[in-house]
Structure 1
Amino acid sequence: MQTKVLNAEEVGFDNVDLYFGRVCGEKHNKLGGLDGVPKKLDIVRVIVISDNTTKESTIWSRWGLDKPITKVNADVDIYLQDGTCIQVNSSNKKLLKKLMKFVWEVNADPRVKFYKKMQCVELNRETWNRTQL
């Protein structure tokens, strides 16, 4: 299984998957089959907790003849409209790409991270005005 819900007892289903382009939660029975109809999730926000994506190079990729092998794995929190939070560990590329539309932090100003690092450094006002866009 590529996707696992970490708080399955609280949420009521144990897997999150795509059905016809929609993110749905599904519950499996003891034999591994679906236990009922998958429920469409009304997603409000997604937060990426950790990104464990790795790239492995091969002999061909070192010479520039092939792309390196990328293994995607991420821990995300999915917040729904009813206020519940689904904690998911997934290595499904299609699902993670679909969830990226709901990540607010990606659309933020990319300089915010730099400003947080430079918070403790005092800058000269003239230098600051000259370097701003």
Structure 2
Amino acid sequence: THYGRVCPIETPEGPNIGLINSLSVYAQTNEYGFLETPYRRVVDGKVSDEIHYLSAIEEGNYVIAQANTNLADDGSFVDDLVTCRSKGESSLFSRDQVDYMDVSTQQVVSVGASLIPFLEHDDANRALMGANMQRQ
């Protein structure tokens, strides 16, 4: 998966569309050249400040909650069922089953795309044009 590793929005228009990609905001490469993205570790149902970088292969082995999930002051999940990703599928999981949580809602997109206000409400073509204008 490219989630949190390669920006799905920022790419040139014209003949090079899809050939040139941008890294997502928090993505990094490991010593083997694989792209990794950060996740907060969940220990005993509480989200810790411990950050782990996972490759796409490693990510498939875990249940990962979204960054906008409601948390109590102590870092535990408010709801009994949490929307998560596991093995590329999105579903509801018990809060006890969650292994990791996204670091930020912005970790999916590149720096240029993250500067577009209300990006989640934009048409895909408008977001593409906005991201390209940020690069100029």
Structure 1-normalised TM-score? 0.24
Structure 2-normalised TM-score? 0.24
Structure with bigger strand share is 1
Q: Which has the larger radius of gyration?
A: 1
Greater RCO (CA < 8 Å, at least 6 residues apart): 2
Structure with bigger helix share is 1
